[in-house]
Amino acid sequence: MSNDSTLHAVTAADFSQVQHLVVTDEYAGQRIDNMLKVLLKGVPLTHIYRLLRKGEIRVNKSRIKAHYRLASGDKLRLPPIRVSDARDKQPKARPQQLQQVEDAIIYEDGGLLVINKPSGLAVHGGSGIKLGVIEVLRQLRPQSKVLELVHRLDRDTSGCLLVAKKKSVLRHLHQQLREDQVHKVYHALVAGRWPSRKKIINVPLQKNTLQSGERMVKVDSSGKPSTTEFRVLTRYKNTTLVEAKPITGRTHQIRVHSQYAGHPIIGDEKYGLAETNVDMRSLGIKRLFLHAAAISFILPETGKPFTISAPLPDDLQKGLSQLQ
């Protein structure tokens, strides 16, 4: 189409009328919902997903799902959309939040940031959360044209979080995730004595959303195949520190597999044991004891294998000291 614009050339002012855009190599491989979140800054996510569901956003004249991955040369049709200036409406991060995220950076090169995400800080805003790691990071680095989450962590989970500084790096890492070339290691403190022989939990998981909007995951034969490898690290009187390696990447996977094994994670308000959590709070463990301890992948800038570890936060380390 001769009047098509390339995706990277479009500005917010253009969205007041129908747009026909051609996907460039820069965006190839990205999920369309993730791309639209960036392209349509200021538009509520609920509205973006509604437009996708209703088929008002089309690719190559066809309806597509939110998980559709764009290909170079795809022709994207956008209906008229009112785009506000997100920067005017975005709440400003407090100096303490800016410093917290700055201090959490444990690796940086020309295309990638690795953050030891603090517990309690969401990775992005939404669902009543005004600011997450990515919004704070963008305010911290206003000169950076690209800052995109490579993957996600639950709000209460701490540890390794990857943020791309280049579209090419984002595509490279997403491809590695799809091809199971990214390996994650978590440390979790679980209730009871985890048996040494119990090394693999392989049960399907089904994700449900309650009327309140809360996400719950349960073991269900109709769910998606899910596998986690476990290894005992240290035994304490009534708890066990385990290493968990998710082979698949389902929502709340380690938490639900631990619960299914009869050893829920300490501090888990959703899948854990209320009485045990109360006892652990008296010892200083006041939140979910789940930490993304390390992540391994091919470093896009060098093409070489790369592993980085995030030290256990002080609050969890102190809790283990109390158990000893």
CA–CA separation, 237 vs 256, rounded Å?
23
φ and ψ at residue 115, rounded to 5 degrees: -115, 135
Catalytic, out of 33, 74, 88, 154: 154
Is residue 154 within a helix (H) or strand (E), and if so which, with residue range? none
CA separation, residue 100 to residues 97, 133, 229, 280, 312 (Å)? 5, 10, 32, 26, 16
Q: Within the chain, where are the H helices? A: 32-39, 45-53, 86-89, 95-104, 133-140, 167-178, 253-260, 274-281, 314-323
- Is 220 in the active site? no
Under 8 Å between Cβ of 19 and 78: yes
Under 8 Å between Cβ of 250 and 226: yes
Joined tokens for residue 153? 């962590």
Any idea which residues carry the catalytic annotation? 154
